[in-house]
Amino acid sequence: MKITSAEFIRSAATESDWPAPPLPEIAFLGRSNVGKSSLINSLLGRRLARTSSTPGRTQTLNFFLINGRFRFVDLPGYGYARVPAGVRRTWGEMVTRYLAKREELVLSIHLVDSRHDPTELDLQLHEWLLYHARPQITVATKSDKLSPNEMRRNIERIRRALNLDEIIPFSAVTGRGRDEVWRAIDAALRDHRRAS
């Protein structure tokens, strides 16, 4: 995919802030600090989404317009223990409402940390997307932090834990996996065009 333009549109704390349809959307989700914003920046080849080593940086739904044709949605991360219970509840409502209701959502990109086994919340999210029949792919981030052998082992463990056929190993540092993620996005956008 050639990126001709990419711009931040807006942050949304409530449904009334979601941008008006009808552009297709690709959502990025996963636990706090897993690398969602970094993946977005790597895909776009520019630093548009805010990244931070402090977990819980992204607290709202952030919409980006790409090539004037589709949107990326950077969702807040889950599982950050130090977030107060009230905020956690709001997170759940905000994100599950978006995932359940948004008709424009054509693909959810679920990020898991390649260094660790999936958490209980990773499993729940995966099951939830399956149950709601939302198209999803799983990307294992920070692959640059592991040796090829460790990586192979961990990918296999994650694949089994989530009962998946495929996981895309990714690194925002080396760019590994970037083309595969773009291929999945292209395919989702093509399916959407065919169906509409």
Q: Closest distance between ligand GTP and the C-beta of residue 46, in Å?
A: 14
Q: Closest distance between ligand GTP and the C-beta of residue 80, in Å?
A: 7
β-bridge partners, 190:
none
76: preceding bond cis by omega (within 30 degrees): no
Question: Looking at beta carbons only, is 43 or 155 nearer to Mg ion?
Answer: 43
Which of the stretches 87-95, 122-130, 140-148, 155-163 binds ligand GTP when contact is defined by CB under 6 A?
A: 140-148
13's tokens: 């704390």
Residue of the chain from 32, 136, 138, 154 that contacts ligand GTP (CB under 6 A): 32
Q: Closest distance between Mg ion and the C-beta of residue 66, in Å?
A: 17
141 binds ligand GTP (CB under 6 A): yes
Residue of the chain from 25, 29, 43, 57 that contacts ligand GTP (CB under 6 A): 57
Q: Closest distance between Mg ion and the C-beta of residue 163, in Å?
A: 27
11 binds ligand GTP (CB under 6 A): no
Question: Looking at beta carbons only, is 24 or 30 nearer to ligand GTP?
Answer: 30
Residue numbers at the binding site for ligand GTP (CB under 6 A): 32-38, 51-53, 55-58, 77, 141-142, 144-145, 171-173
